[in-house]
A and B are shown apart, each in its own frame.
Chain A
Amino acid sequence: MQISDLRRTARARLVTFAWDEWGQMGVSASARRADRWAQDPEALLLFTFEVGREDPRLFGEVLDWLALNERLVSVQRLRNLCHDDADRTLAEAALSWVAHSNHQTERRPRPAKSEASSAVQLFRDVKADPRRADAPFRAHGWLMPPIVRSGKSQVPNLQAPINFAFRLRQLLGIGARAEAARFLLTVYAPSVTAQVITESAGYAKRNVHEALTALHWASVIDSVTVGKEQRYRIDRERWGTLLGLPADGLPTERPWPQLLHALRVLLRWLDDEQHERLSPYMLASEARTLAEEINPELRYADVRIPSAGRHGAEYWQDFVELVEAALASVG
């Protein structure tokens, strides 16, 4: 399979996945599926800011959703989950756009380092006139045609499993407590360490420790010492009763921060046109380097990594299989 075909496939499937997720979370879209997993709103936002560059309508509708539901989203957590400049500038631009849209700020958005002259087109197929580009995005180095809120978004249905994170935020407030409780209630393990919870919580280790200590003091989670390890567990039945759900009716956990980060790194790599000009061997070598970078996160997310036994240029076929496995993991 050529890289151009792989790119098209990945784009199409990831855009569809994003629509399907947001459709269950309040974005104006027909929800074609009803997932049993609890989605991670901030990880999905960062993922959509990248994948939405393929689909301006998706990007615009998610901005509309964010403007309506900004109180359900943790800005701190969104920033914590950023890995690189692209993540950071896209997130800050979106936050700035929402602030501008909701509060009609007179103040011009504060220019970021990458402003204006070095700004790049946000959408891959729709070019923005630099003079008329959206100001909040331009201030963060992205040229996007002005987007007006569609006003079609709704608040998430908190009874849907996918929106479990929002429900716990309503219950416990936005912060590490809600994320720690979400992880403990959704993960399929008798007990877990603070380190594992931190990987999913998206807050600093210290904040997660404080949250776990507070929940333990409040007697709503248990702490056990196994060997030298402090482990945490939760009584799913008691919490299920509180939430009006049977213990086996709680949503399931997926390592979204890791999986969605790996997928957006993959998508950026596929979108890099320089790869079109490489020899078959160099393309395969670059693909192997990328695989080495994202495989730990894919493994963490339980993606079945195909064995990579091919050498030289032939490794490309292994890479195609890896991409297909990663795409299959989001359905």
Chain B
Amino acid sequence: MTDITRSGRVRELLVALSEQLAARGRHYELVVVGGSALLALELVERTTKDVDVVALRQAGSLSKADPLPRDLIDARNRVASDFGLMEDWLNPGPASLMDLGLPEGFLRRVSTWDLGAGLTVHFSSRLDQIHLKLYALVDQGLGKHEADLRALTPSREELVQAARWTRTHDPSPGFREMLERALHYLGVNDADLGP
């Protein structure tokens, strides 16, 4: 199976997806986060296997991407076959983030690619990626999330802002303790994380 390694590759796959959707008479707007968004905006240099769709945008409002619509799945599978990718190379893995909401102002900060008649993709901004990566780091541990977060070179203020947002997703004392440890690890001490 082929990995996605650069911004041009992300665009090539999404243009192909757009053509497949247009051939089916469909158009979707996807909100994408994660490694492929970082690659697309050239914020990091690494490989990824998939494109993480958090939400679908329709008439200006967002809806959870899980489950993906049937015709989007069909078009995605066709692209997978055409490019030797895993069938779920585009998936709604992070869609549960929508349950408690994305960071305030998320949609105003996205970078948008109009990819033709079948597809528009909104990639999360650097600041929002800092929010999501910090949450993932605390929730899932070090590894690629730490590497991505460091590559984004967040300021103290950005990390504190992100940390406050992560607490809206998990207000438990246990999470707060792990969050404080993560911030300390990232060089932020004595941050005001609210009550």
Contacts and interface: CB of A to CB of B under 8 A. Distances in A.
B120 interface: no
B82 A315 contact: yes
B84 A282 contact: no
A281 B16 contact: yes
A206 interface: no
B81 interface: yes
Contacts of B81: 288
A315 B82 CA distance: 8
Nearest to B78: A285
| Main SS at interface, chain B | helix
A5 to B, nearest CB: 23
B10 to A, nearest CB: 13
A311 B19 contact: no
Contacts of B19: 279, 281-282, 285
A312 interface: yes
Contacts of A279: 19
A284 interface: yes
Interface of B: 2, 12, 15-16, 19-20, 23, 78, 81-84
Given A279-B19, A282-B19, A285-B82, 19 more contacts: A281-B15, A281-B16, A281-B82, A282-B23, A284-B82, A285-B16, A285-B20, A285-B78, A288-B82, A289-B78, A311-B2, A311-B82, A311-B83, A311-B84, A312-B12, A312-B16, A312-B82, A312-B83, A315-B82
22 contacts: A281-B15, A281-B16, A281-B19, A281-B82, A282-B19, A282-B20, A284-B82, A285-B16, A285-B20, A285-B78, A285-B82, A288-B81, A289-B78, A311-B2, A311-B82, A311-B83, A311-B84, A312-B12, A312-B16, A312-B82, A312-B83, A315-B82
Interface of A: 279, 281-282, 284-285, 288-289, 311-312, 315
